[in-house]
Structure 1
Amino acid sequence: MLEFIESAADVVAVTVSEKITGADLAAVMDRLEQAMDRHEVVHVFAETRSIDGVEVSGLGSHTARAMPLFGKLKRFGRVAVVADQAWIRAGSRVESALLPFVGYRVFKPGQRAEALAWVSGNADPDA
């Protein structure tokens, strides 16, 4: 289940729970493309809750649609990932290491407010 969270216009903020579907990925891409059309730098807040699967049928079209984003990596500002599962936090840290142009932080659920403040640019930059 996907839910968009109200946020600043240059922040794409979502909560995903249970299963990630092709429709979820398409909706996030739509929102991300809209934000990139309006802002030079876009920030992302992604919160996951109890993910128990990814719908494989949507991955092929999502991958093809997401590939052009690799040419726009410098347009991503801060990315905050809040995850209740260790495997998602670990995967996010690996992704962060592979994307050196992106400011990436991984948070636990108890740090959700801190993550939202940081991704929105409303937190102490040294925290």
Structure 2
Amino acid sequence: MLEFITHSAPHVVAMKVGGVVTGRELQRAIDAIEAAKRDHPRVSLLAELDGLRWMTLTALLKDVGYGLTQLGDLSRYHRAAVITDKEWVKHIAHLEDRLFKAIEIRTFPHREYAAAREWVAELPQGEHESPEEDGYHGA
């Protein structure tokens, strides 16, 4: 299950993930990220992981494939907040933070949900939420 969560910052793509994630659900997430990238110079991601069990093979292949296509475009991402109480997820997120230096990745326990939402909404100093203010008009 992957469902979108509303967030007050327009450059943040927020979602709640649990149970089994299908290829169709993952494609909707990819589409949302790509739409945010068209509208904003930098995007951030928020993922609340609650009871995630696994991904279908199709979802896993889409996830890996999309991730590989983004390696040359990491400057378009700012932050990723992962909300979880699972230690194994925290370890993976910390490894990704070390591997992908262009994206700041942090984990938050569920009790710090509000702090995660606030942190992920922040933009780099000097950047604004409105793409027009930054002279950005899409790719």
Do they fold alike, i.e. is TM over 0.5? yes
Q: Indicate yes or no: 2:7 matched with 1:3.
A: no
Show CA shifts across 1:70-94 (max 9, x none): 1111111111011121111111111
Q: Which has the larger radius of gyration?
A: 2
- Given that residues 29 and 66 in structure 1 are in contact (C-alpha distance below 8 angstroms), is that contact kept between their aligned partners in structure 2? no
Deviation for aligned residue 1:24: 1.9
Give the TM-score of the pair, scaled to structure 2: 0.81
Partner letter of residue 103 of structure 1?
E
- Given that residues 12 and 32 in structure 1 are in contact (C-alpha distance below 8 angstroms), is that contact kept between their aligned partners in structure 2? yes
Deviation for aligned residue 1:3: 1.4
**Structure 1 residues 81 and 61 mapped into 2: Cα distance closer, same or farther (>3 Å)?**
closer
How many pairs were matched up?
122
Q: Which residue matches 2:94?
A: 93
- Given that residues 50 and 84 in structure 1 are in contact (C-alpha distance below 8 angstroms), is that contact kept between their aligned partners in structure 2? no
Q: CA RMSD in A?
A: 1.5
Q: Which residue matches 2:51?
A: 50
Which stretch has the larger CA shift, 39-48 or 20-29?
20-29
Percentage identity across aligned positions? 30
Give unpaired runs (5+ residues) of structure 1: 123-127
- Counterpart Cα distance in 2 of 1:3 and 1:60: 19
Deviation for aligned residue 1:69: 1.0
**Structure 1 residues 64 and 104 mapped into 2: Cα distance closer, same or farther (>3 Å)?**
closer
Give unpaired runs (5+ residues) of structure 2: 124-139
- Given that residues 20 and 56 in structure 2 are in contact (C-alpha distance below 8 angstroms), is that contact kept between their aligned partners in structure 1? yes
Which stretch has the larger CA shift, 93-102 or 53-62?
53-62
Q: Which residue matches 1:28?
A: 29
Q: Which residue matches 1:125?
A: none
Q: Which residue matches 1:120?
A: 121
Give the TM-score of the pair, scaled to structure 1: 0.88
- Counterpart Cα distance in 2 of 1:44 and 1:9: 11
Query: Aligned runs of 1:53-64 on 2, under 5 Å?
Result: 53-64=54-65
**Structure 1 residues 3 and 61 mapped into 2: Cα distance closer, same or farther (>3 Å)?**
closer
- Given that residues 46 and 82 in structure 1 are in contact (C-alpha distance below 8 angstroms), is that contact kept between their aligned partners in structure 2? yes
- Counterpart Cα distance in 1 of 2:66 and 2:104: 23
